[in-house]
Amino acid sequence: MAHVAQWKLDVTSKLSEKINDYKVLGIVDIAGIPAPIIQKMRSDIRTYGNLVVMKKTLIYHILEKLEKENEALERMKGMVKDSVVPGIILTDMDSFKLFRKFKEGKKNAPARGGEIAPEDIVVVKGDTPFKPGPIISEFGKVGIPAAIEKGKVVIKKTTTLVKKGEKIPRDVAQMITKLEIFPIVLGINLNGTYEDGVLFTKDVLDVDLEMFKSSLSGAVAEAFNLSMNIGYVTDLTISPLISKAYTDAISLSLAIGFVTRDNAEMIVQKAYSEAMTLAGMLSPEAVDGDIREVLGRITAPKAPETTEKKVESKEEEEEQEEEEEVSEEEAAAGLGALFG
């Protein structure tokens, strides 16, 4: 390691002692974050930890002073090496919660030119808020096909301007800013943590919480089904296993006709139902009179009320027509008498 000034060694020594007061040691990268935002982030972090930004050589020196496993130390040095602007985060917050907190706190910012695109920068086909003018030629210079339609500037084709990992040209940065495309993600990148003797890399810490919950719920459901099928008793299965055993016992007793105080009524109802079914299959002469009466009530069809009402109303109409005919004859006879 290169020569380090004594005052820097004193600072790192004090920090090394302070690290032991925290549960989690993390390596972060704050590259690209403007100073005012960093100051605000420091203020927020003070509520749950301590953020220290320093040169890589000093962080290496701190790691060497810590009494950790050599393999973990070497891997943490690699995290420092991969950082553009490295720092140390000290906290008692769980490593996974810390990673999620930093990830959710990131914000998109406009590109200035020269940055590395974190993702493909794509301009989508469609209308723009611009009026016809020089803007069309500016679009053309950066490779965006545009035209004027119905008094508006329209992008004719979805175009990928910069691919992930490529530098963002200055003119492209200016144009996508006008289109309100902000590709730069500002925030603290947590490269890894050391917690309770375990080293967590960022790919391990970056957990899809919803997918994890879904997988965990699925595992619990499968374990529950297995324990129910094999009759394995746990705090979760004891009640449903007892209910299942009771139901199975009732079904078995009904099937073999074993009478208990819990199933006596069900067995009588089952016997009655089977007896009536059997009686319905026999000839009337072979069935007792009381049973025939019961079967008759069960099977006798009821005359539709609507049909009876229709018949009655038809008869009433015919009688009314006859009355009307008699009245007409009587009326004619009365008129004849007047002129006779």
Per-residue pLDDT tens over the stretch 247-273: 999 889 888 888 888 888 888 888 888
pLDDT for res 340: 41
Phi-psi region of 125 (alpha: psi -120 to 50; beta: other; left: phi over 0): beta
- In whole angstroms, what is the distance from residue 20 CA to residue 294 CA? 89
The parts of the chain modelled with pLDDT lower than 70 are 1-5, 7-9, 67-71, 285-340
pLDDT for res 337: 39
- In whole angstroms, what is the distance from residue 271 CA to residue 261 CA? 16
Topology alike, domains 6-106+187-207 and 121-184: no
Instruction: Map out the domains of the chain as residue ranges.
Output: 6-106+187-207, 121-184, 213-299
Q: How many helices (H) and strands (E) does the chain have?
A: 13, 12
- Secondary structure in 3-state letters for 16-81: HHHHCCCCEEEEEECCCCCHHHHHHHHHHHCCCEEEEECCHHHHHHHHHHCCCCHHHHHHHHHHHH
pLDDT for res 257: 85
pLDDT for res 219: 93
pLDDT for res 241: 93
pLDDT for res 174: 92
Rg of the chain over Cα atoms, rounded to whole angstroms, equals 45
Q: Integer distance in angstroms from the first to the last C-alpha of the chain?
A: 151
CATH level 2 (architecture), domain 6-106+187-207: 2-Layer Sandwich (3.30)
Query: Which stretches of 162-288 are DSSP H helices?
Result: 170-178, 202-205, 209-230, 238-256, 264-281
- In whole angstroms, what is the distance from residue 83 CA to residue 75 CA? 13
What CATH code is assigned to 121-184? 3.90.105.20
Q: Give the angle subtended at the CA of 86 by the CAs of 83 and 87, to the nearest 5°.
A: 145
Q: Give the angle subtended at the CA of 66 by the CAs of 60 and 71, to the nearest 5°.
A: 75
Reduced to 3 DSSP states, what percent helix, strand and coil does the chain have, rounded to the nearest 5?
A: 55, 15, 30
Q: Which DSSP symbol is given to 181?
A: -
